[in-house]
Amino acid sequence: MGIQGARKQEGASEEDICRLPKFKFRRTEESEKPSEISRSYEGIMTECGSPHNEVVLSSEDAECCICLSAYDDGVELRQLPCDHHFHCACIDKWLHINATCPLCKYNIVKSSNDSREEV
C-alpha cells in the first residue's frame, strides 16, 4: 500500500489529447521561400479547421523529436500549449503514458485543469 497523494505521473486522457490543436504540414516550394531565408525555411503548419492560423517552420524545426523523422508533406501534427509540435501518432502515444512535453516537461493536464478552473 502506497502513501496517498504520492501517485506516479499518469498519462493524459483521450479528451485532454483531443483538445490540443492539430495541424497539417506542407513543404514549401523554392519559389515560395523568401530569398534571404530560403536555406532555413522548410514548411508551414496550417491548423486543421482554421486555415488562417499558420506557423512557419525552419528546417531544424520540421522534424518530430520523438521518432526523429522529418515531417513529410501532408502529415498531421499536434501542437502542445508550450508550442512544441510532433507527429500526431507519436505525441498521442507519448501523452497517453506521460502527460508532459517530451522536450520541456510542460504538463498538459495541469495546464488544461488550471484553465478550466479559471472559467
Is domain 14-118 annotated with CATH 3.30.40.10? yes
Please check whether residue 67 is in contact with residue 87, taking contact to mean a CB–CB distance below 8 angstroms.
yes
Q: Cα separation of 77 and 63, whole Å?
A: 10
Please check whether residue 42 is in contact with residue 25, taking contact to mean a CB–CB distance below 8 angstroms.
no
pLDDT tens for each residue of the chain, 119 residues long: 444 444 555 899 999 999 999 999 999 875 554 555 445 558 999 999 887 889 999 888 999 999 999 999 999 999 999 999 999 999 999 999 999 999 999 999 886 655 544 43
Query: What does DSSP assign to residue 28?
Result: P
pTM of this structure = 0.77
**CA-based nearest residue to 21, from 62, 76, 103:** 76
Q: In what order do the strands lie in the sheet with 22-27?
A: 54-58, 41-47, 22-27, 76-79, 85-87
Domain range summary for the chain, segments of one domain joined by + = 14-118
Burial of 17 per CB tally in 10 Å (0-12, 13-18, 19+): buried
